[in-house]
Amino acid sequence: MRQAPPPLLRARARRRARALAGALVLAALASPAIAQQASAGACHRACLEKLLSDYLAAMARNSADAVPHTSGVRYTENGQDMPLGEGIWRTASGLGTYRVTAADPQTGQIGYMGVVIENGTPAILGLRLKQVGGKVTEAEAVVGRSKDGAEKLEALAKPAEPFVSPVPAGRRMSRAELIRTADLYFQGFGRGPGESPPFTPDCERIENGTRTTNNAELAAQSKRPFTYVQLGCETQFKTGYLKIVTHARERRYPIVDEERQLVYAFGFLDHAGNVKSVKVADGRDVAVNLLAPFTWEFAELFRVEGGKLRQIEAVLNAAPYRMKSGWSGVYAE
């Protein structure tokens, strides 16, 4: 007959069983959090930034196969669907030094604005990447082919401080509030004199590498009877002149960087060509020289502080009037 184990061995066995049961309980409690992290792609800022860097390096080598991507990856460039590896993937010949990013771990996406070299000529690239499990599933590019603007960005060397500085958790707005504030910017194009979206007093905007706020030098170079680039963000809208934009369309906000309070927007600014003059705040009727229909496709980055717009940077591509983005129905307007 088999003898019972001594009391000391029985006690040790009971302790091991209790320890094992406790470990199983802890694992069961932790598993929902682990599963939630996995469902979000388990790719936080550092992971997203590495994927972006790998993507850009591969693009500069004209080697799309070097990018980890799903078999059904979707790529658009300036609103046109094409295989990953076409478009600027064929013409890129290097990367500049200027770059600014917005990371959104919650949706597994990252946005980029920076200088690329295309067949030896600098250009400006706005880019959105979405990943699942470390593989790119979506890539959306807006290329602004402005050599002068790209050279101006390279001269800056680094982005404006508001784009890179984190905001303390207690002062952060929610995703919904950030998007709502950014959208007020585009709603402002339809407002009359005296009205404006909310801006901080020191708000600045760069479009295709050129500063288009508080730029007296650029205003002096213009031969137009009315310019607004010498004015601040709020004053520009309050003139009423920006009603030259007849429709801010297909506005999308796929990337929200909550840590830095950034919103990365995509969409179109239509000019119908039938606005021949605008009555501005001082009562003047100012002639408008945009007398044919055209559209700006934009990728635009906003920094929001205290419910107001602080810093704005855009990549613009002149597009056919009323062109579609290719992402209609994928991301809500």
Residue with tokens 């310019």: 227
pLDDT value of position 97:
97
Which residues neighbour 7 within 8 Å (Cβ) at sequence distance 6 or greater? Answer: none
Helices (H) and strands (E) in the chain, counts: 7, 14
User: Could you tell me if 73 and 138 are in contact, meaning their C-beta atoms sit under 8 angstroms apart?
Assistant: yes
Q: Amino acid identity, residue 184?
A: L
Residue with tokens 């979405």: 130
Q: Amino acid identity, residue 323?
A: M
> CA nearest 140: which of 252, 287, 218?
252
> What is the Cα–Cα distance from 251 to 299, expressed in whole angstroms?
10
> What is the Cα–Cα distance from 209 to 115, expressed in whole angstroms?
9
Read off the tokens for 258.
């909550």
pLDDT value of position 299:
98
Residue with tokens 């069961």: 28
Q: Which CATH number fits domain 45-159: 3.30.530.20, 3.10.450.50, 3.40.190.10, 1.10.3080.10?
A: 3.10.450.50
Read off the tokens for 46.
């550092």
Which residues neighbour 217 within 8 Å (Cβ) at sequence distance 6 or greater? Answer: none
> CA nearest 240: which of 277, 289, 291, 295?
277
The hierarchical CATH code for the domain 166-319 is 3.10.450.50
pLDDT value of position 107:
97
Q: What is the 3-state secondary structure (H, E, C) of 21-74?
A: HHHHHHHHHHHHHHHHHHHCCCCCHHHHHHHHHHHHHHHHCCCHHHCCEEEEEE
CA atoms within 13 A on the CB side of 254: 22
Domain boundaries, the chain: 45-159, 166-319
Q: Amino acid identity, residue 29?
A: L
Residues (pLDDT < 70) of the chain are 1-41, 329-333
Q: Amino acid identity, residue 16?
A: R
Query: Does residue 251 sit in helix, strand or coil?
Result: strand
Read off the tokens for 114.
């920076």
From residue 197, alpha-carbon distances to 126, 200, 252, 255, 282 in Å are 24, 10, 18, 21, 19
What is the CB neighbour count within 10 angstroms for residue 146? 20
Which residues neighbour 9 within 8 Å (Cβ) at sequence distance 6 or greater? Answer: none
What pTM value is reported for the model? 0.86
Read off the tokens for 288.
């408008």
> What is the Cα–Cα distance from 13 to 113, expressed in whole angstroms?
61
From residue 255, alpha-carbon distances to 95, 104, 126, 261, 285 in Å are 23, 6, 13, 11, 39
- Please check whether the two domains, 45-159 and 166-319, share a CATH topology: yes
pLDDT value of position 330:
58
Which residues neighbour 229 within 8 Å (Cβ) at sequence distance 6 or greater? Answer: 211, 212, 213, 215, 218, 219, 222
What is the CB neighbour count within 10 angstroms for residue 202? 12
